[in-house]
């Protein structure tokens, strides 16, 4: 307890005998209670005693605590009690007493003049030892103030979440019980504080702030630009310190503003979600500059660079000299900017019936602005006549749009008719480029249908829709039907109304209603537009709107007569229509394959055993295939396969570990529709027929040179040799005729593949010579067929004559070299020349 006693102030000299002579107050630990006891000593007498608890010595009714006692003060000491639950720290008690009536202090009174005695006391809360406040995460480099310890107490900081973890630092609490932790050298992770009594507080976490900073463009032409700042893990404004070894203090101030000191300038309150830091390189010499950006209160730092080039004369150009689109659609054009970030575009119809002026501003610094011009909105009060993409930072503003008589309000019925328009581009009121916009007549073309799997996400993105659909007019119940229409001149309106207009209409009506029932109509569908290709898609979910199997529908897309005439100088046009139809079929699935006379599916016990099926579900539909066997050799296998373009289903299983004769079931399930469809069949394993062999045939001339462009035919397959003279076939074991044709001449031979395991043979045959049994599957081909003297005495035949030359034999002397790269095969080739 700290006590300070002061003599009565001069203002009360000669006061009554009951004046306060001393005041005491005990320190309060809020852990033990929130009431402070104050004792005021004074002379005998009836009257009043006041006490004020304050920190700054000036009375503030909202912050200070006032207590008093009125009546008998004959005991020469009065006890006052005050609730100090909201206080924390050191306070002064100012006291006054009188045997008469006393006025309370007024707002702003100097309590040292008002009181007769005072003392100090402390309000603390031992429960707050190690108090970190509400914050648990701190960025590396920040200072953390932790309160609630005893003054002078030693506090250990441990890396981890337990006092048993290694201490990294010892700190001593100041007189107020506070320690200050500098986290600059702290690694990322948790920490706890431990006091003299081994009580742990925390934990708190130190994390490294993640920042990025880069200029909007890698180059700037001695003009203004922006340095963008972002932080992935700190979403609040910070003070940035910017430095560069390439820039002096004066340069830093000229570029970033503020006051630079020791090669560093501070920019305050930079928001990661804001507009960045303005940077003006107008007075900076050309060259590349490396800039370091750090956060003032953390260790976060990053480096970026920018190249300053000579100032470019302001200029703007269109990205094309001619643009073409249909009237009523959306025109896209781009303005390329150099040495400026803004320009003006004037658009005028050839006969000046319409003109508009817009400003374009390059806000992201990439040197271009892409503008979209909705020709349906042109001339109306619609805001979206000229605009940029939703994700663009660039802006387009309309200065005004006028008719030929200078009237700005053109009305909702106004249309830009097909015509030629002049585009003029200005920078600082000087014309810099010209272009032409041609608006053509819109039209309505073909209509078609396609199908997509149930559940496929195709209702918003054109690419997703096109990747998931397959052309067809029969849709399985539960799948999605897609109606596609080729049409132009309507996308400006679609951008506004999302097909909610009387001008455009899609009618889908049942053409085969049951007798005495009304035809079903489909009115709910998603609309997906592809303006780049003048196409609209309508997505129908067949699980909705009473759509059932065996129903047939007629589809009509129409553009109203009024809409067509609104884009024509005449009013005698008819509505435009496109028609098609589709059918809804009952969803089905069927297991296919080699069934025996008893209707049992036969599957080979092969490591790549194939199970097949068929479905009318949309290609891309997932189907589950399950194989299940019980008994002495049970197994359970399942896979997911997709329905192919022609409805085919195929999947492979490794059944090589199971013996022929094993019985099992095959079940195929499609659970994508409203109701699950499934088929299960009995199956049995049969001996594997093995795998086809990969056979490579090389065609050579008599001198051993590879011949390209030769057609080689085997088993109704024909391949043409490349530069290496080779062709490859997949063949089962057996005997085959081989024919090689080149420049109109033909040479033939016989190939025999024996079904042997673990044999790789190579053989060479010179067609047109006496070559017998070149490779019959035994080991002779390893000794004789591939010797280096294939055109000599021992050429491919142990018993051949000495003068076997292809040019003296029938055919054209081409040698056919067969290299059998087989997993299991022997090969025999016999001359048939």
At 831 the pLDDT is 35
At 574 the pLDDT is 87
At 796 the pLDDT is 42
Three-state DSSP at 443 gives coil
Say if residues 269 and 256 touch (Cβ distance below 8 Å): no
Query: Tokens 């590879």 — which residue?
Result: 706
At 717 the pLDDT is 92
Say if residues 3 and 97 touch (Cβ distance below 8 Å): no
- Residues near 10 by beta carbon (within 8 Å), at least 6 away in sequence: none
At 567 the pLDDT is 87
User: If we measure between CA atoms, which residue out of 334, 237, 223, 226 comes closest to residue 279?
Assistant: 226
641 vs 648: CA distance, rounded Å: 10
In what side-by-side order are the strands of the sheet with 589-592? 589-592, 609-615, 648-653
At 790 the pLDDT is 39
What residues are paired with 397 via a beta bridge?
359
User: If we measure between CA atoms, which residue out of 380, 377, 382, 383 comes closest to residue 411?
Assistant: 380
What residues are paired with 339 via a beta bridge?
none
226 vs 610: CA distance, rounded Å: 62
DSSP string, 135-177: --EEETT-EEEEB-SPTT-EEEEEESSSTTSPEEEEEE--TTS
- Residues near 533 by beta carbon (within 8 Å), at least 6 away in sequence: none
Provide long-range contacts, Cβ within 8 A and 24+ apart, for 128-137.
128/88, 129/177, 129/195, 129/199, 129/201, 130/155, 130/193, 130/195, 130/199, 130/200, 130/201, 130/202, 131/201, 132/201, 132/202, 132/204, 135/204, 136/203, 136/204, 136/205, 137/204, 137/205, 137/207
At 222 the pLDDT is 87
| 140-172 residue pLDDT tens | 999 998 988 889 999 999 999 888 888 999 999
Three-state DSSP at 360 gives strand
Across the chain, how many H-helices and E-strands are there?
6, 62
- Residues near 465 by beta carbon (within 8 Å), at least 6 away in sequence: 452, 458, 459, 482, 528, 537, 539
Domains observed in the chain: 10-126 (2.60.40.10), 129-207 (2.60.40.10), 211-308 (2.60.40), 315-440 (2.60.40), 444-585 (2.60.40), 589-686 (2.60.40.10), 693-831 (2.60.40.10)
Terminal Cα distance for the chain, rounded:
123
Q: What is the pTM of this model?
A: 0.58
CB neighbours (10 Å) of residue 792? 11
CA distances from 256 to 242, 264, 365 (A): 8, 10, 18
168 CB burial (10 A radius; 0-12, 13-18, 19+): middle
468 vs 672: CA distance, rounded Å: 15
- Residues near 440 by beta carbon (within 8 Å), at least 6 away in sequence: 324, 325, 326, 327, 418
At 827 the pLDDT is 41
At 751 the pLDDT is 79
Say if residues 271 and 183 touch (Cβ distance below 8 Å): no
At 814 the pLDDT is 45
273, two tokens: 């979600």
CA distances from 413 to 326, 404, 504, 565 (A): 18, 16, 16, 12
Percentage helix, strand, coil for the chain under 3-state DSSP, each rounded to 5: 5, 50, 45
53 vs 62: CA distance, rounded Å: 12
Mark the ranges of the chain whose per-residue pLDDT is less than 70.
1-18, 31, 44-46, 71-75, 125-134, 379, 381-382, 403-413, 498, 690, 755-833
User: If we measure between CA atoms, which residue out of 411, 433, 414 comes closest to residue 424?
Assistant: 433
At 4 the pLDDT is 32
């Amino acid at each position: 307890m700290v006590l300070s006693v002061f003599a009565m102030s001069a203002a009360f000299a000669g006061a009554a005998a009951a004046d306060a002579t001393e005041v005491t107050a005990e320190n309060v630990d809020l852990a033990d209670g929130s009431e402070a006891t104050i004792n005021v000593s004074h002379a005998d007498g009836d009257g009043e005693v006041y006490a004020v608890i304050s920190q700054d010595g000036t009375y503030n009714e909202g912050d200070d605590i006032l207590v008093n006692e009125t009546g008998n003060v004959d005991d020469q000491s009065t006890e006052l009690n005050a609730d100090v639950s909201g206080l924390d720290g050191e306070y002064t008690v100012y006291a006054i007493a009188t045997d008469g009536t006393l006025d309370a202090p007024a707002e702003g009174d100097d309590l040292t003049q008002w009181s007769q005695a005072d003392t100090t006391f402390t309000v603390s809360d031992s429960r707050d030892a190690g108090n970190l406040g509400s914050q648990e995460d701190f960025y590396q480099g920040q200072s953390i103030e932790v309160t609630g310890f005893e003054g002078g107490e030693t506090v250990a900081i441990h890396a981890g979440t337990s006092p048993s973890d290694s201490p990294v630092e010892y700190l001593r609490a100041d007189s107020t019980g506070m320690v200050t932790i500098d986290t600059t050298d702290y690694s990322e992770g948790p920490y706890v504080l431990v006091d003299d009594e081994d009580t742990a507080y925390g934990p708190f976490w130190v994390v490294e702030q993640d920042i990025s900073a880069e200029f909007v463009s890698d180059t700037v032409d001695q003009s203004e630009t922006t340095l963008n700042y972002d932080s992935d893990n700190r979403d609040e404004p910070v003070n940035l310190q910017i430095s560069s070894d390439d820039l002096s203090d004066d340069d830093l101030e000229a570029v970033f503003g503020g006051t630079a000191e020791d090669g560093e300038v501070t920019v305050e309150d930079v928001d990661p979600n804001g507009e960045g830091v303005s940077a003006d390189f107008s007075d900076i010499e050309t060259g590349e500059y490396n800039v370091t950006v750090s956060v003032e209160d953390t260790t976060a730092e990053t480096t970026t660079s920018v190249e300053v080039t000579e100032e470019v004369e302001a200029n703007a150009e269109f990205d094309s000299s001619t643009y073409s689109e249909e009237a009523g659609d959306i025109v896209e054009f781009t303005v390329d900017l150099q040495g400026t970030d803004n320009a003006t575009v004037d658009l005028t119809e050839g006969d000046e019936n319409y003109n508009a002026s817009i400003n374009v501003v390059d806000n992201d610094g990439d040197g271009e602005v892409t503008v979209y011009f909705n020709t349906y909105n042109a001339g109306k009060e619609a805001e979206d006549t000229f605009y940029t993409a939703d994700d663009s930072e660039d802006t387009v503003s309309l200065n005004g749009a006028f008719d030929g008589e200078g009237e700005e309000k053109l009305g909702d019925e106004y249309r830009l008719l097909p015509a030629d328009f002049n585009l003029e581009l200005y920078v600082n009121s000087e014309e810099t480029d010209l272009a032409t916009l041609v608006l053509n007549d819109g039209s309505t073309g073909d209509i078609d249908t396609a199908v997509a799997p149930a559940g496929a996400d195709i209702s918003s993105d054109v690419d997703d829709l096109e990747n998931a659909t397959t052309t067809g007019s029969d849709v399985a119940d539960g799948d999605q039907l897609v109606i596609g229409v080729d049409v132009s001149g309507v996308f400006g309106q679609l951008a506004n109304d999302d097909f909610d207009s009387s001008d455009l209409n899609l009618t889908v009506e049942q053409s085969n209603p049951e007798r005495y029932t009304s035809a079903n109509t489909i009115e709910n569908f998603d609309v997906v537009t592809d303006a780049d290709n003048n196409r609209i898609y309508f997505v129908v979910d067949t699980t909705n709107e009473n759509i059932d199997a065996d129903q047939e529908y007629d589809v009509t897309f129409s553009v109203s007569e009024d809409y067509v005439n609104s884009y024509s100088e005449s009013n005698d046009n008819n509505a435009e229509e496109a028609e098609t139809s589709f059918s809804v079929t009952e969803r089905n699935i069927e297991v296919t394959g080699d069934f025996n006379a008893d209707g049992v599916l036969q599957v080979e016990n092969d490591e790549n055993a194939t199970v097949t099926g068929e479905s009318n579900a949309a290609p891309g539909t997932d189907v589950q295939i399950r194989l299940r066997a019980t008994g002495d050799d049970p197994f359970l296998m399942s896979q997911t396969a997709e329905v192919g373009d022609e409805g085919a289903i195929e999947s492979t299983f490794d059944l090589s570990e199971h013996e022929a004769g094993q019985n099992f079931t095959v079940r195929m399930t499609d659970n994508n529709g409203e109701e699950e469809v499934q088929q299960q069949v009995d199956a049995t394993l049969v001996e594997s027929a093995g795998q086809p062999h990969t056979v490579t045939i090389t065609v050579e001339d008599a001198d051993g040179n590879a011949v390209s462009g030769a057609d080689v035919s085997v088993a109704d397959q024909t391949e043409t040799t490349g530069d290496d003279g080779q062709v490859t076939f997949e063949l089962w074991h057996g005997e085959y005729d081989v024919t090689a044709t080149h420049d109109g001449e033909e040479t033939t031979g016989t190939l025999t593949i024996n079904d042997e395991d673990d044999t790789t043979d190579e053989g060479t045959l010179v067609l047109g010579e006496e070559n017998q049994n070149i490779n019959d599957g035994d080991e002779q081909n390893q000794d004789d067929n591939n010797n280096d003297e294939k055109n000599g005495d021992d050429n491919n035949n142990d018993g051949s004559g000495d003068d076997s030359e292809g040019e003296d034999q029938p055919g054209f002397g081409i040698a056919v070299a067969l290299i059998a790269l087989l997993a299991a095969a022997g090969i025999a080739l016999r001359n048939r020349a």
